[in-house]
Amino acid sequence: MVKYLEALKKGIVFGVNPVRWGPVFALDAVFFVLLVNLVFGAVSLQGLLGGAAVLAVIWFLLRVWVTGALIHQTWRESETGKSWRVPYQRYLSILLVMIIVIFINIIVGMVPLINMLLIILVGVAVFFSLQAVVIRKRNSVDALRESYSLFRKRMDRIVLWDNKFLGWVLIVAAMLCISVAFVSVFSYAILGVVGGWIIFSFLAFMLFYSKVFRAWVAVSIVAGAISGLFAAPGLLWAFSSTMANAHFFGGAAPLLSLLANPHLLMLGGIVFIIGSSIATAFSLKAQTEFYLQLRKKRFGLF
């Protein structure tokens, strides 16, 4: 039995520790300040885009290192110092996993009708890939394969043998045939309904059957709540500024308010980065706890 609450509690305790989220915050805050200065100091759009691209690449490469160290800490909390040497050995595999996942998400994001469902499925399928790289010392391909195998374990039985699932597939197929047969303005509405039905029903099946999907949902909800809590002050300020200036500037009020108050923009961004850093540390720890539980249950390890 997967202990969801225990994993989430350990994730929260780990996440609120400044020793854990501090490095993530330091990296993100530095690059956020550099980006804000670049935006307000840019003399051309080309220079702005080029500078932002360079900052993004450098930030991403450094974030790979920080993520590897933090995952090691989620597994061996007493080895904080040693954790910063671990990414040296696993850096390429971590980097390749992140790049592959980003590339897959870009591809499936272009699929019409069910792109959101496919993005969620990709996120769940690769949920433990970074843990497999750092903890099990897998290469990028094996790590992705292992993460997928943990997700696939019970889904195979559902797809092949569950009558309710097969009935759902037949209903969706019939709805798709009906929608394609319509050549009118209503066909788009029907396709929208079909897409919504596919996403809702399939996720409902996964929530009931898949332990990995339930873990993914739990981590996403808590991490989103943490980030949202720290984003609230900045959103309230932006909303109040928009309402105050909407009479004079209309739809451009939010952008003009930000440009007129760069210091407040930076302050709001820093507060949000604190929240996102805590959410990142929490997510990685909770993922590791779920990973260790499922690995032990699935393969008898750890």
pLDDT at position 109: 82
As a whole number, mean pLDDT of residues 33-42 equals 82
pLDDT at position 265: 74
* Three-state SS letters, 140-162: HHHHHHHHHHHHHHHHHHHHHHC
Residue 298 has pLDDT above 80, yes or no: no
Q: Give the integer Cα–Cα distance in Å for 143 and 298.
A: 15
**Out of 28-42, 162-176, 257-271, least confident range:** 162-176
Distant-in-sequence, close-in-space partners of 109: CB < 8 Å, separation ≥ 6: 115, 118, 119
pLDDT at position 28: 95
pLDDT at position 170: 62
Domain boundary assignment for the chain:
4-150+210-299
Beta strands in 8-117 (DSSP E): none
Report how far Cα 203 is from the mean position of its chain's Cα atoms.
Answer: 17
Residue 222 has pLDDT above 60, yes or no: yes
Distant-in-sequence, close-in-space partners of 39: CB < 8 Å, separation ≥ 6: 48
Residue 250 has pLDDT above 60, yes or no: no
pLDDT at position 57: 95
Q: Which has the higher per-residue pLDDT, 22 or 194?
A: 22
pLDDT at position 302: 40
pLDDT at position 150: 86
Nearest to 216 by CA among 139, 296, 122, 143: 122
Residue 162 has pLDDT above 60, yes or no: no
pLDDT at position 196: 66
**Out of 29-33, 86-90, 161-165, 209-213, least confident range:** 161-165
Residue 271 three-state SS: helix
Q: For the chain, what percent of residues have pLDDT higher than 70?
A: 69
pLDDT at position 43: 72
Q: At what angle do helices 163-181 and 186-209 cross, to 10 degrees?
A: 170
Distant-in-sequence, close-in-space partners of 167: CB < 8 Å, separation ≥ 6: none
**Out of 1-10, 22-31, 205-214, least confident range:** 205-214
Top-ranked range on mean pLDDT: pick from 25-34, 38-47, 226-235, 291-300:
25-34
Please give the mean pLDDT across all residues of the chain.
Answer: 80
Contact 229, 272 (CB under 8 A): no
Residue 228 three-state SS: helix
Q: For the chain, what percent of residues have pLDDT higher than 90?
A: 40
Give the residue carrying structure tokens 């609120």: 16
Contact 126, 116 (CB under 8 A): no
Q: What DSSP state is assigned to residue 184?
A: S
Q: Give the integer Cα–Cα distance in Å for 104 and 25.
A: 27
User: For 135-148, what is each residue's pLDDT tens digit?
Assistant: 999 999 999 999 98
